[in-house]
Amino acid sequence: MSAASAPPPVPTPAGIALRIAVLVALVVVATWCAHIVRDAIDFQIMPENEQQVHRAIMLGAVAYVGLLAIPFVPGAEIGLAMLVAFGAAIAPLVYVATVLALCLSYTMGRMVPMPALARFLASLRMRRAADLVRRAAPLSRQERLAMLLDGAPPRILALALRRRYVALALALNIPGNTLIGGGGGIALLAGLSGLFAPLPTVLAFAIGVLPVPLTIVLLGA
């Protein structure tokens, strides 16, 4: 067997543990940053601190977009803190920043080459997932969907795949979705899957994140 066709080395348990530890450390650091930003914008608004308010809004918006795009990081806390601190006036900015963050995460998912994703999954010994990615890599969007539907359990999963844009919008509002990566993780998976076209996906994001800021505006909180 030639060197080019040799199978990739099997990762050791220590190597897998190190990879997982690095990922966890990155999430912990990003979460810590999210809490710092959230606390930084939690102050009372007064006429004499107008400049501080403007800086806090800019810092909060930029940090919100970046941190919310990272899977498993509670970046939504920053958005909620901004809504609590500044009320309905800031809701449109939070809404736009949320959609931008999800689009950023989705775009990053689309940019990951399928072979690289398969190798990463294999390095974590997720062999079935890696094999699925390898089989899906050369297929078109419709062919990937047909492949998943062929092996999907009846009813719920098949319905979610067929109505995947509706399911995507709903997933963004499911309580406890942090367990599956939060908004950033959900958007990243949508991009990685190759099943979601850009324009319908952006529309699903725009609709999915609308309820909270719209409620704040309507209530005038």
DSSP class of residue 153 equals P
Query: Quick one: CA dihedral 67, 68, 74, 79, positive or negative?
Result: positive
Reported as a single tens digit per residue, the pLDDT across 100-116 is 999 998 998 888 887 87
**146 domain-assigned:** yes
**100 domain-assigned:** yes
Buried b (16+ CB within 10 A) or exposed e, 141-161: eeebbeebeeebeeeeeeeeb
Give the whole-angstrom CA distance, residue 132 versus residue 148: 9
Does the predicted model carry a pTM greater than 0.75? no
Reported as a single tens digit per residue, the pLDDT across 3-48 is 444 455 555 666 556 655 665 666 566 566 655 656 655 555 555 5
**132 domain-assigned:** no
CB neighbourhood size of 41 (10 A): 23
Give the whole-angstrom CA distance, residue 126 versus residue 221: 47
Spatial contact of 71 and 185, defined as CB atoms under 8 Å apart: yes
**187 domain-assigned:** yes
Residue 63 scores a pLDDT above 60 = yes
**39 domain-assigned:** yes
**104 domain-assigned:** yes
Look at residues 93, 85, 95, 98 and name the one whose alpha carbon lies nearest to residue 52: 85
For the chain, the domain total comes to 1
**117 domain-assigned:** no
In one-letter notation, the amino acid at residue 46 is M
Structural domain span for residue 192: 13-111+139-221
